[in-house]
């Protein structure tokens, strides 16, 4: 393994020596197991990664630190395919606990306990296809146990727990802009510039590989990665989870799959088991509106207009502009 480069990566990002030691240990262990099979870190397949994680789960050694260490090493190596797989199994781990907490705050602990009884996420590191069962059960309980406005409000929270500081730049741009429209335009322009930089450097942007076609797709639609104001609403279209595949795909079924970001639901699009209501996408809508909550300084209302879980080819949301916003 490239131990020196990996330790430098950890140090440059402010991690402790102990964190680096633990990550190196995780990679060395995986490398040793691969060598026994005549494989290497450079050549390992996604199936090989899944097999190793499955073993860690069976040994109850599937810690977040260990899995993050492996993910970061493959990011450093620019094994984008493997890194993206890790994001697909780790990215949604905060969602169910966060929904549970928000449900208790809004409807009370007794209602939360009733809704979540028997709802259990699969072990950390489990493949994405093991998540929809818990999601489907939770959605059924929310619909049967709460009125529509309440469960939508519960779902439309900041369940990925994005820190408020992450929106400092958005607040700055908003205060500098003469109008909301000017702010939204700037957000879109800055997003295109950022994608162009990632394309040039060959780096993964969050969970996505960026191609020239992806950059042009975003450039051509301000609703993607920003928003368009119409009256008292801001309309947003979700950026695809696998944008390159989404743009190339012609089969509607697969196109919906490539659009969906939700690690707790997207596998159900291919299997149909369980069938998860598009109401679940108020969780994604909550992710999308978080920057507007920060910019406006109040929790905004959001509506799901289109979702791939209901058969649409895109996911589209509308955020209501709070009263008193004069820009």
The predicted-structure confidence for 12-57, as pLDDT tens digits, reads as follows 999 999 999 999 999 999 999 999 999 999 999 999 999 999 999 9
Pairwise CA distance, residues 301 & 285, whole Å: 10
Per-residue pLDDT at 327 exceeds 80: no
Q: Taking a C-beta distance cutoff of 8 angstroms, is the pair 262, 160 a contact?
A: no
Q: How confident is the model at residue 92 (pLDDT cuts 50, 70, 90)?
A: confident
Q: Please state the rounded mean pLDDT for residues 266-294.
A: 95
pLDDT at position 326 is: 75
Asked if residue 297 lies in contact with residue 169, where contact means CB atoms within 8 angstroms, the answer is no
**Res 226 pLDDT > 90:** yes
Q: Name the percent of the chain lying above pLDDT 90.
A: 94
pLDDT of residue 324: 84
The answer to whether residue 314 scores a pLDDT higher than 80 is yes
What average pLDDT does the segment 194-215 reach?
94
pLDDT for 1 equals 92
pLDDT for 91 equals 85
Strand, helix or coil at 207? Answer: coil
- Average pLDDT of the segment spanning 238-257: 96
Rg (CA), the chain: 21
Per-residue pLDDT reduced to its tens digit, 107-159: 999 999 999 999 999 999 999 999 999 999 999 999 999 999 999 999 999 99
């Amino acid at each position: 393994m490239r131990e020196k480069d990996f330790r430098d990566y950890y140090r440059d990002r402010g991690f402790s020596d102990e964190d680096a030691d633990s990550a190196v240990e995780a990679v060395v262990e995986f490398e040793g197991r691969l060598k026994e099979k005549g494989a290497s870190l450079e050549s390992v397949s996604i199936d090989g990664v899944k097999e190793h994680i499955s073993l860690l789960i069976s040994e109850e050694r599937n810690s977040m630190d260990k899995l993050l260490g492996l993910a970061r090493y493959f990011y450093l190596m620019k094994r984008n395919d493997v890194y993206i797989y890790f994001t697909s199994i780790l990215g949604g781990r905060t969602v169910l606990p966060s929904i549970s907490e928000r449900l208790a705050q809004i409807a009370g602990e007794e209602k939360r306990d009733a809704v979540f009884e028997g709802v259990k996420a699969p072990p950390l590191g489990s493949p994405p296809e093991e998540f929809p069962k818990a999601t489907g059960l939770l959605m059924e309980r929310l619909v049967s146990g709460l009125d529509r406005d309440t469960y939508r409000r519960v779902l439309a929270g900041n369940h990925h727990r994005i820190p408020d500081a992450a929106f400092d730049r958005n607040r700055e741009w908003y205060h500098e802009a003469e109008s909301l429209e000017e702010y939204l335009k700037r957000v879109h322009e800055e997003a295109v510039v950022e994608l162009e930089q990632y394309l040039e450097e060959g780096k993964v942007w969050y969970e996505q590989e960026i191609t020239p076609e992806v950059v042009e797709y975003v450039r051509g639609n301000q609703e993607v990665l920003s928003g368009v104001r119409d009256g008292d609403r801001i309309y947003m279209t979700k950026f695809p989870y696998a944008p390159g595949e989404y743009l190339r795909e012609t089969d509607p079924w697969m196109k919906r799959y490539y659009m969906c970001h939700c690690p707790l639901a997207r596998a159900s699009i291919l299997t149909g088991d369980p069938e998860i209501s598009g109401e679940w996408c108020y969780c994604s809508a909550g992710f999308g509106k978080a920057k507007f909550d920060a910019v406006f300084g109040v929790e905004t209302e959001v509506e799901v207009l289109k979702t791939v879980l209901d058969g649409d080819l895109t996911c589209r949301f509308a955020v209501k502009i709070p009263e008193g916003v004069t820009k």
